[in-house]
Structure 1
Amino acid sequence: MAGLVKLLWKNRKISSSVAMAVRIKYDEKEKSRLKQMMIYEAKCLQNGYRYIAGIDEAGRGPLAGPVVAAAVILDPNVIIPGINDSKKLSEARREYLYDEIFNKAVSVGIGIVDERIIDELNIKQATFMAMEIAVNKLSVKPDCLLIDAEKLINITIPQISIIKGDSLSVSIAAASIIAKVTRDRILKEYDKKYPEYGFGKHKGYGTKQHIEAIKSLGLLPIHRRSFTKNI
């Protein structure tokens, strides 16, 4: 919307006053959306918590590669326009916001648990491990955690589990972006090493292309044996 307004103004299709009005309307809409996504953070601040970490993961379902979790503490006084559930964003937008979050967040922690541990433990426990690693890697210790639909029993910090939290909490949404971009970058490196499997496209998920590659070429060290035994 904002890009369209700039283009129309540049070509003098609309007046400067109309362009400004549309731009303000666009900005106000985004501010309203983000304000709605800060409700949980606002409640935590009202309850005396200072450092609120959102936690989310990427990569529970794929047949290959690690599960990645991220923990993000945002500055409540700094707004990062565009933050949303990573699944609702384009790859280019996620990459842009990844840098914005790292540059403006109070702290970011990332936890990566590989396919060997996933097979050894199971994906749920491996996800919890990745989340705990992410929390422990924060340079600032959080005093409250907002987690997407989970609870970490090995961490004593007060926690709030939020169903569909990546759409409802700006901190969890930020974590979802960090986790998704981090994991996608790992799979792109695998794509360079194993180009015939197509990891750059499917990111390890069980697409037709990926399953056919496994059937014809066999399993790789990065494949999750517990996920691929029926292929």
Structure 2
Amino acid sequence: MMTFSQEESRGKHVIGIDEVGRGALAGPICACACILETNLSFHKNFTIRDSKTMTPRQREKTAAWLQKNSMSFIAECDAQTIDEIGISEANKFVLKTVAEAAIQHVNDPETKVFVDYFTLSGIATISVPKAERIHISVASASILAKVYRDSHMKELAQGYPHYGWYTNMGYGTASHREAIKIFGLSPKHRRTFTSSFVKQP
């Protein structure tokens, strides 16, 4: 199981930041900043690693534990905003929003802030490629963000049952793409992500 690295454990807290939903055809992009106490003891029955390598049940179980034992902030940009400003700007916006909220909450300049891949202008963060595989704080953020977004997509699926969002979470599976061709785009789809294979209304 992941543990705090020496770099993470210098202060009382560490902040990990990650996003989910960047490549989806529908739904929001979401980011989470997770604040962990560096002396936190992790329960041996909970798995904390890159959310993409965990089952839905593992993610939900671990997220419930993290919600009780950490502080987190989540931000999102919906499909319309993504189409208006572009996915890169939307990605930066959600990351910066949660970073600023977490840093303000901790209010300790010694706190390390780890971000998966991205650098954020004006914020002292440590950018690490594949950070969710290395830093427990970022892995925790990835789990919380994934569980939050999956839950949101399941709620959206109730209003738009044709697209299979309950299982594909808005990503471009073959069945999702076929449903778009048959039923057209919903208001929750990203037009800029679907223009290559479907006519725009």
3-state SS in 2 of match to 1:132: helix
RMSD: 1.4
What is the TM-score with the length of structure 1 in the denominator? 0.78
Confirm or deny that 1:208 pairs with 2:174: yes
Q: Which has the higher contact order (CA 8 A, sep 6+)?
A: 2
Aligned to 2:154: 188
Confirm or deny that 1:123 pairs with 2:106: no
Cα offsets for 1:24-59 (capped at 9, x unmatched): xxxxxxxxx323xx21xx32443xx44321000000
- The 5-angstrom pairing of residues 136-155 of structure 1 reads 136-138=100-102, 139-141=105-107, 143-153=111-121, 155=122
Cα offsets for 1:130-157 (capped at 9, x unmatched): 112222333434633100111111x43x
Counterpart of 2:80 in structure 1: which amino acid? R
Provide structure 2 residue ranges, at least 5 long, that are not aligned to the other structure.
Answer: none
The one of 163, 178, 195 aligned to 1:197: 163
The one of 37, 41, 45 aligned to 1:79: 41
Contact kept? 1:71, 1:135, Cα under 8 Å: yes
The one of 77, 86, 93 aligned to 1:113: 77
What is the TM-score with the length of structure 2 in the denominator? 0.89
Shift of 1:77: 1.5
Distance 1:141 1:104 in 2: 19
Cα offsets for 1:90-132 (capped at 9, x unmatched): 0001001111111001x21101111111111111110111112
Rg bigger for which structure?
1
Counterpart of 2:179 in structure 1: which amino acid? A
Contact kept? 2:8, 2:38, Cα under 8 Å: no
Would the alpha carbon gap of residues 58 and 141 (structure 1) be closer, same or farther in structure 2, given more than 3 Å must change?
Answer: farther
The one of 117, 129, 132 aligned to 2:96: 132
Distance 1:141 1:206 in 2: 40
Distance 1:184 1:88 in 2: 15
Contact kept? 1:110, 1:137, Cα under 8 Å: no
Contact kept? 2:30, 2:77, Cα under 8 Å: yes
Aligned to 2:22: 60
Counterpart of 1:64 in structure 2: which amino acid? A
Shift of 1:79: 2.5
Shift of 1:196: 1.4
Indicate the percent of aligned positions where both proteins have the same amino acid. Answer: 36
Confirm or deny that 1:174 pairs with 2:151: no
Confirm or deny that 1:221 pairs with 2:183: no
Query: Number of matched residues?
Result: 190
